[in-house]
């Protein structure tokens, strides 16, 4: 997973806003972030495929 400076800035700003204006350093574990996103991506794809399967069965 490639993270640009803009991505890192966005993530750190989100974390600071979510934690009441936290102003300390923000460390991003890229491997963990990739693992979390992969799991979410798989769920999104599986949900979409199940909805499509239901849609096509309902049309028949």
User: Taking the model in full, what pTM does it have?
Assistant: 0.44
C-alpha torsion angle, residues 16, 21, 22, 23 (rounded to 10): 100
Q: What is the pLDDT of residue 39?
A: 79
Q: What is the pLDDT of residue 1?
A: 62
Domain boundaries along the sequence of the chain: 5-59
Q: What is the pLDDT of residue 56?
A: 80
Distances (CA, A) of 53 to 33, 40, 42, 57: 30, 20, 16, 6
Average pLDDT across each block of 10 residues of the chain; the chain has 60 residues. List them in order.
81 87 82 79 85 82
């Amino acid at each position: 997973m490639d993270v640009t400076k803009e991505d890192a800035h966005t993530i750190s700003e989100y974390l600071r806003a979510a934690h009441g204006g936290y102003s300390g350093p923000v460390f991003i574990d890229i491997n963990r972030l990739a693992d979390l996103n992969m799991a979410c991506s798989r769920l999104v794809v599986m949900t979409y495929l199940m909805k499509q399967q239901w849609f096509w069965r309902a049309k028949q």
